[in-house]
Amino acid sequence: MQYQKLPFACLLVTVFCLSGQFNAQAKDITLPPDGMQLKASDLPGYFKAQVNCVACHSAEYMAYQPPTAPRAYWDAMVKRMKSVFKAPIDDADMPAIVDYLAKTYGNEQSK
């Protein structure tokens, strides 16, 4: 029977794990309270943004975007969150979220 040589790193990991030094334990993480909430609105996208957007990041993310950002910017941002960051946003909800963001944080804000 012929044995293949294990790389040295694999050998070290095996020894480390078998020695009892590798104890994987669950960690509790307490996040600070969110210092900002989404701007309230009667637009249907407000609720959808609460469910979809701030589930992953703070409302500050929207507030710190350029207030001159056009609808196309917000549309690209929502699409990016879904495609790049895998946000579980339903395609049917995306137009309402974009509408809310453009009218509440973008260049379509009523002054």
In this model, does residue 61 exceed pLDDT 70?
yes
pLDDT band at 66 (very low <50, low <70, confident <90, very high): very high
Looking at 14-18, 44-48, 98-102, which range is the least confident one?
Answer: 14-18
Burial class (CB in 10 A: 0-12, 13-18, 19+), 106: buried
Residue-level pLDDT at 29: 76
d(CA 72, CA 88): 21
Instruction: Output the pTM of the full model.
Output: 0.70
| CATH code, 34-111 | 1.10.760.10
What are the structural domain ranges in the chain?
34-111
pLDDT band at 78 (very low <50, low <70, confident <90, very high): very high
pLDDT band at 57 (very low <50, low <70, confident <90, very high): confident
In this model, does residue 4 exceed pLDDT 80?
no
Tell me what the mean pLDDT of segment 48-76 comes to.
Answer: 92
